[in-house]
Structure 1
Amino acid sequence: MSNTSKRYTAEFKRDAVALVYSSGKTVTEVAREIGVSPEGLRNWVNQDKADRGQGPAGVLTSDEREELRRLRRENREQQQTIEVLKKPRPSSRGNRRSSRALRVHRCGEGHRDEPRWPWCLNRSGFGRDLSCWV
């Protein structure tokens, strides 16, 4: 037996369900006559009942199933977008440090901050503090 399942058109499914209702035969008998599995035909009949509001409580209609599928796909895409946006972006200055601490220049004389860095930032964190250069 094949592991692949057959795909039936919506029209074929509607006709098969109508045949079950109109013939007075059991689902299994109709399934044998038209060449589908009894379980598959029974699922089609149960879904048709749910779509007409005659199914058990809590069963989703076809429209509700389609909307749920669409919303789950949309949610998954939004979660992926959020994950991408959470990733850190490289700094345009090439400095990946996020601190805005005052750093001292290479000579370090007259400055109390340690360690000595080859350049320093001004107090705002942008640009070089020219007063530190010898």
Structure 2
Amino acid sequence: MAQNKKQFDAQFKQDAVNYYYTSGKSLKKAAADLKIGESTLGKWVSVAKNNDGVVQHRGSGNYNSDAEKEIARLKKELRDSQDALEILKKAMGILSN
């Protein structure tokens, strides 16, 4: 059975953690109020505790840092350049015959 995963943006995650801290409610009650899973809110709170109250949000691409995102972009650029070079080599071979 496939499980549908909801995607939450960074602002929602941060607001949810802030709500939990300011409401004085239990994790279970705060999660129910926000209509999210208790374990989901628990993960966000845990991440925030380890990061000075800020929830890290990877966003699309699932990169943990800007450096990883840049590395992935450069690897793609290198692959594209290598593919273009191979095409040019093949074209030169065809044209030289």
The bucket for the TM-score relative to the shorter chain is 0.5 to 0.7
The offset of 1:79, in angstroms, is: 3.6
Asked whether 1:93 is paired with 2:96, we answer yes
RMSD: 3.2
Q: Is the Cα–Cα contact under 8 Å of residues 17 and 41 in structure 2 kept in the other structure? A: yes
2:3 matched to which residue of 1? Answer: 3
**Equivalents in 2 of 1:29, 1:84: separation in Å?**
54
TM value normalised by structure 2: 0.61
Flag structure 1 segments of 5+ consecutive residues without an equivalent: 55-60, 95-134
Give the aligned residue type for 2:96.
R
Name the % identity. Answer: 20
The structure with more radius of gyration: 1
Gaps of 5+ in 2: none
Q: List 4+ stretches of structure 1 deviating above 6 A.
A: none
1:31 is matched with 31
TM-score (norm 1): 0.48
Counterpart of 2:21 in structure 1 is 21
- Aligned length, in residue pairs: 88
Matches within 5 A, 1:61-100: 61-62=56-57, 65-85=64-84, 87=86, 88-89=89-90, 90-91=92-93, 92-94=95-97
Larger RCO: Structure 1 or Structure 2 (Cα < 8 Å, ≥ 6 residues apart)? Answer: 2
Aligned to 2:43: 43
Distance 1:85 1:2, change over 3 A: closer
Distance 2:38 2:51 in 1: 20
When structure 1 is superposed on structure 2, of 36-45 and 77-86 the one drifting more is 77-86
Instruction: Please state which structure has a larger fraction of its residues in helix.
Output: 2
* Contact 1:17–1:45 (CA under 8 A) maintained in structure 2: yes
- The Cα shift of 1:62 comes to 4.5
